[in-house]
Amino acid sequence: MSQISLTFPDGNSRDYDAGVTAAQVAESIAPSLAKRAISASLDGKHIDLAWPITASGAIAIHTLKDEEQALELIRHDFAHVMARAVQEIWPDVKVTIGPVRDHGWFYDFDRAEPFTPEDLGQIEAKMKQIINAREPVRTEVWDRARAVAHYEAANEPFKVELIDRIPEGEDLRMYWHGDWQDLCRGPHLQNTGQLPADAFKLTHIAGAYWLGDATRPMLQRIYGVAFRNKDDLKAHLHMLEEAAKRDHRKLGREMDLFHMQEEAPGQIFWHPNGWNIYTTLQDYMRRKQRADGYVEVNTPQVVSRKLWEESGHWENYQENMFIVEVDEDHARTKTINALKPMNCPCHVQIFNHGLKSYRDLPLRMAEFGSCNRYEPSGALHGIMRVRGFTQDDAHIFCTEDQIEAETKKFIEFLAGIYADLGFTGWRIKLSTRPEKRIGSDESWDRVEAALGNACQAAGYDFTIFPGEGAFYGPKLEFVLTDAIGRDWQCGTLQVDPNLPERLDAEYVGQDGHKHRPIMLHRAVLGSFERFIGILIENSAGKLPFWLAPRQVVVASIVSDADDYVHEVVSALQAAGIRAEADTRNEKINYKVREHSVAKVPAILAIGMKEVESRSVSMRRLDQQGSRTLSLDEVIAQLADEATAPDLR
């Protein structure tokens, strides 16, 4: 039998007979490792312990301590165990697919009757029975004809269709969890008892079209979450509870910020309170950009198909664009335009207008650009995922030699803004060259090094994501972590030599010849709409005072105090504070509760005692009791808090 050589993470190698399994490799190292082993990686590919290894390579044996691999297996096995439980309870249910996703999995089922929330408890109980049985998990590779015949006999048409979609020559791997069988690439655990029975929960049910196609059958999708231990599950469920409390859609109603309706899907109706947040944030960003050397521009909403063809968007992005047909002067042929889904091609048009010199570079061009992109209705989510949005978009036209300095400058700019907005926990991802790309390896080496050097010069570490860059250049992504531990990718910086080439952008260099600029696409917030949603959820609606849409409510305790209430409101407004009066004939406790639910940061209560002393009784959101202060003291304190960070 031929021999293969396997190299371990410590650099040592051992020879084995070809066809050895990872389980046997683990046993050869130590029986204790074999007992703890759950899977292996061979040349970076995650594999099952039972798969034969036929070629030399680098191997690593995984245990439950290896979080990434352990969670993948746990969640994948839970998907199978859940599907088995469903079919044991309801044998007529047909199964489809059950992929791993963030924090858990889902599985789609075809069942005549709808699942109910009460069914989830019954399924969980059956799953625990299967886990406690500690039944073995085994795998075989079948030929296509045998697999099709098996599923046709079992009346599982979705599995037959999946087999038809698998490329010829690719293994069809079958897995058994006990007596229950499924088509799956694997890998899986070695027995059902390796699943942590106290570390999973089925969370909800939703509808889903087969393979995401609205013309195909509507299936029922059951979602679950799973972790390595019950403490991690408990922490995640607590996070979900917090997320529900912080849901920007719920808070948007309570704070009267915005609404959405079916007559304008994916578009936002901003109410006065919400628009206060929007314009305050935009004014802040405008000042910051001007101070950092940006020029602000504005470009058309409707742009001819011709430009989108030249930029490449018509070929590669058309399905996400809203097409606008115009009957120009009642001509027989309509002119085809599109609402812009992004601003970059229009910015190149401004760059191209007039001769540019190397002395003009770097040119930092910013726009609060309103864009429209088609998103499927099922993907829309409050103001976080919409069809109409405005980006804090900018493009830096520069030379290749300026990339590093401009990237460092941008990282420092972004860091200051995130700090002002209350985000100190964020990290940088560097996405590098994909397999299919343009440009020489030498050019990619220089540009990737420039981005990495810029991060280090700005004082930030970064994580490399190999192969995740665009075909024309690498990029940086800036990922925020909010108050309850969720990640949000907001800021970006993308190196692009491609669009200036396609749209014929040029500048005159020191040598007197024409050269192509490099274009750096960059954003800090991303879209205002989504970022405001993130701000609302991060703060649970208790926005920083300078961003709060309603900063102060001055409430009367008795009607005889109404005149002084209006005097206080006028004085606060004159100091630049968003203040309003509440002189309704309601008890003060009712008013305080109502405005607290609406997340008003400061409530000033005024009765006759305050009128006589020309003072106010101030209650702060989430603080017990109140303080009596002079009107001048309150104005000075709140005017300072109402000042944006860049103006202090």
- Using DSSP, how many helices (H) and how many strands (E) does the chain show? 20, 35
What's the pLDDT tens digit per position in 291-320? Answer: 999 999 999 999 999 999 999 899 888 889
Mean pLDDT in residue range 47-66? 92
| 43 in catalytic set | no
pLDDT > 80? residue 333:
no
- The band of 330, judged by pLDDT with boundaries at 50, 70 and 90, is low
Taking domain 72-244, whether its CATH number is 3.30.980.10 is answered by yes
Active-site residue among 188, 356, 395, 591? 395
Query: Which residues are bridge partners to 367 per DSSP?
Result: 393
Contact 434, 398 (CB under 8 A): no
Per annotation, catalytic residue among 77, 108, 393, 496: 393
Q: Which of 316-330, 455-469, 546-560 has the lowest mean pLDDT?
A: 316-330
pLDDT score for 383:
95
- Helix H or strand E encompassing 62: strand 57-63
Is residue 344 annotated as a catalytic residue, yes or no? yes
pLDDT at 595 over 70: yes
Distance CA 344, CA 396 (A): 10
The tally of CA atoms less than 13 A away on the side-chain side of residue 26 is 22
Pick the CATH number of 259-539 from 3.40.50.880, 3.30.930.10, 3.40.1160.10, 3.40.640.10: 3.30.930.10
Task: Write down the catalytic residue from 80, 108, 220, 344.
Answer: 344
Q: Which pLDDT value is given to residue 332? A: 66
551 is catalytic: no
CATH 3.40.50.800 boundaries in the chain: 545-642
393 is catalytic: yes
Which residues make up the CATH 3.10.20.30 domain(s) of the chain? 3-63
- Token pair, residue 120, equals 């989830």
Alpha carbons 311 and 174: distance in angstroms, whole number: 46
Given the residues 391, 402, 494, 551, select the one marked as catalytic.
Answer: 391
pLDDT at 175 over 70: yes
Q: Residue 433 has which token pair?
A: 């060259």
pLDDT digits (tens, 9 = 90+) for 508-551: 999 999 999 999 999 999 999 999 999 999 999 999 999 999 99
Kindly state the tokens that stand for 45: 């590919």
- Stated as kind and residue range, the H or E segment containing 619 is strand 615-620
Judge whether 324 and 338 are in contact, CB under 8 Å: yes
Query: What residue spans in the chain does CATH classification 3.30.980.10 cover?
Result: 72-244
Say if residue 346 carries a ligand binding annotation. Answer: no
Establish whether 504 is a catalytic residue: no
Instruction: Please report which residue ranges of 228-372 form alpha helices under DSSP H.
Output: 230-246, 248-254, 272-291, 305-311, 313-317, 344-352
Domain boundaries for CATH 3.30.930.10 within the chain = 259-539
Rounded to the nearest 5°, which phi and psi values hold at 54?
Answer: -110, -5
The count of other CB atoms within 10 Å of the CB of residue 266 is: 20
Q: Which of 543-579 are b and which e, b meaning 16 or more Cβ less than 10 Å from the residue's Cβ?
A: bbbbbbbbbbbbbbbeeebeebbebbbebbeeeebbb
Q: Looking at residue 201, what is its pLDDT?
A: 97
Residue 344 labelled as part of a binding site: yes
CA distance 591 to 595: 6
Architecture of domain 545-642: 3-Layer(aba) Sandwich (3.40)
Residues sharing a CB contact under 8 Å with residue 405, sequence separation 6 or more, in sequence order: 454
Distance from C-alpha of 42 to C-alpha of 28, rounded to nearest angstrom: 17
Model confidence pLDDT, tens digit, residues 71-84: 999 999 999 999 99
Tokens in use for 48?
């099952």
Angle at 243 between CA 239 and CA 246, to 5 degrees: 140
**What residue has token string 């002079």?**
630
Task: Tell which phi-psi region holds residue 161, choosing left (phi > 0), alpha (psi between -120 and 50) or beta.
Answer: alpha
Question: Is-catalytic flag, 173?
Answer: no
Q: Is the pLDDT of residue 97 over 70?
A: yes
| Closest among 328, 68, 86 to 187, alpha carbons compared | 68
Contact 552, 546 (CB under 8 A): no
pLDDT (tens digit, 9 = 90+) per residue, 2-43?
889 999 999 999 999 999 999 999 999 999 999 999 999 999
Q: Is 395 annotated as a binding residue?
A: yes
CA angle 190, 191, 193 (to 5 degrees): 135
pLDDT(1) > 70: no
The catalytically annotated residue of 521, 522, 591, 619 is 521
Handedness of CA 584, 589, 590, 596 (dihedral sign): positive
Q: How far is CA 446 from the centre of its chain?
A: 29
Answer yes or no: are the C-beta atoms of 369 and 340 closer than 8 Å.
Answer: yes
* 227 CB neighbour count, 10 Å cutoff: 24
235-257: pLDDT as tens digits:
999 999 999 999 999 999 999 99
Residues 6+ apart with CB under 8 A from 135: 177, 178, 179, 191, 192, 193
> What pLDDT, in 10s, does the model give residues 546-588?
999 999 999 999 999 999 999 999 999 999 999 999 999 999 9
What is the predicted pLDDT for the residue at 267? Answer: 95
- Nearest CA to 36 among 47, 45, 49, 46? 49
pLDDT at res. 424: 87
Residues in Cβ contact with 587 at an 8 Å cutoff, skipping those fewer than 6 apart: none
Q: What residues have CB less than 8 Å from 590, skipping those under 6 apart?
A: none
Q: Is 395 a catalytic residue?
A: yes
Smallest CA-to-CA distance from 25 within 11, 10, 42 is with 42
Whether the Cβ atoms of residue 217 and residue 110 lie closer than 8 Å to each other: yes
Q: Are 308 and 338 in contact (CB under 8 A)?
A: yes
- Active-site residue (options: 150, 249, 373, 381): 373
Higher pLDDT, 327 or 229: 229
Tokens of 363: 């040119």
| Third-level CATH fold of 3-63 | Ubiquitin-like (UB roll) (3.10.20)
As a whole number of angstroms, the distance between CA 588 and CA 605 comes to: 8
Query: Mean pLDDT of all residues in the chain?
Result: 93
Q: What is the 3-state secondary structure (H, E, C) of 466-533?
A: CCCCECCECEEEEEEECCCCCEEEEEEEEEECHHHHHCCCCEECCCCCEECCEEEEEEEEEEHHHHHH
- Sign of the CA dihedral with 253 first, then 254, 256, and 258 last: negative
Percent of the chain with pLDDT over 90: 85
Q: Which of 173, 475, 515, 578 is catalytic?
A: 475
Confidence of residue 331 (pLDDT cuts 50, 70, 90): low
β-pairing, 426-431 with 463-465? parallel
